[in-house]
Amino acid sequence: MNAYVLSFAVLLLTGSALGDRFGRRRMFVAGLGLFTSASAACALAPGIGALIAARAVEGAGAALIMPLALTQLSAAFPADRRGRALGIFSGLTGLATFSGPFIGGAVAQGLAWRWIFWINIPIGAIAILLVLRRMGESHGPNFRFDIWGVVLATGGALGLVCALVRGNSAGWGSREVIAAAAAGACLVAAFVAWELRTSTPMLPMRFFRIRAFSTANTANFCLIASMYGTLFFLAQYLQTALGYGPLGAGLRLMPWTGTLMVCAPIAGNLADRLGERGFLAGGMILQTAGISWLALIARPGLGYPQLLVPLSIGGCGISMAMPAAQRAVVGAVEAGEIGQASGTFSMLRQLGGVFGIAILASVFGATGGFGSPQAFTAGFAPAMGVAAALALAGAIAALAMPRRRAVVPAVIPATLTLPVPARQAG
- Do both 61 and 173 map to the same domain? no
- Do both 260 and 395 map to the same domain? yes
Tens-place pLDDT, residues 289-321? 999 999 999 998 888 899 989 988 998 898 888
- Do both 286 and 301 map to the same domain? yes
Could you write out the three-class secondary structure of 217-275?
HHHHHHHHHHHHHHHHHHHHHHHHCCCCCHHHHHHHCHHHHHHHHHHHHHHHHHHHHHC
In a domain, 71, yes or no: yes
In a domain, 168, yes or no: yes
Averaged pLDDT of the chain: 82
Q: Is the pLDDT reported for residue 419 higher than 50?
A: no
In this structure, of 91-105, 196-210, 230-244, 378-392, the range with the lowest mean pLDDT score is: 91-105
Section 152-172 average pLDDT: 80
Greater pLDDT, 22 or 142: 22
Q: Is the pLDDT reported for residue 411 higher than 70?
A: no
Whole-model pTM?
0.75
Structural domain including 33 reads 2-137+202-399
Tens-place pLDDT, residues 347-405? 788 788 888 888 888 888 888 888 888 999 999 999 999 999 999 999 999 998 887 65
How many other β-carbons are positioned within 10 Å of the β-carbon of residue 367? Answer: 14
In a domain, 301, yes or no: yes
Quick one: pLDDT at residue 398? 92
Q: What CATH number does residue 368 fall under?
A: 1.20.1250.20
Greater pLDDT, 265 or 198: 198
Q: What percent of the chain has pLDDT over 90?
A: 27
In a domain, 410, yes or no: no
Quick one: pLDDT at residue 264? 73
How many other β-carbons are positioned within 10 Å of the β-carbon of residue 247? Answer: 13
In a domain, 407, yes or no: no
- Do both 278 and 214 map to the same domain? yes
Question: Which bin fits 69, alpha (ψ -120 to 50), beta or left (φ > 0)?
Answer: alpha
Section 78-102 average pLDDT: 72
- Do both 63 and 48 map to the same domain? yes
The Cα 386–Cα 226 span in angstroms is: 8
- Do both 106 and 164 map to the same domain? no
In a domain, 63, yes or no: yes
The Cα 405–Cα 83 span in angstroms is: 13
Quick one: pLDDT at residue 219? 93
In a domain, 413, yes or no: no
Greater pLDDT, 389 or 250: 389
- Do both 112 and 255 map to the same domain? yes
Greater pLDDT, 25 or 245: 25
- Do both 129 and 152 map to the same domain? no
- Do both 257 and 165 map to the same domain? no
**Nearest C-alpha neighbor of 243 from the set 376, 107, 393:** 376
- Do both 296 and 225 map to the same domain? yes
Section 133-139 average pLDDT: 82
- Do both 234 and 179 map to the same domain? no
In a domain, 424, yes or no: no
Report how many domains make up the chain. 2
The DSSP H or E segment spanning 83 is helix 82-110
- Do both 133 and 100 map to the same domain? yes
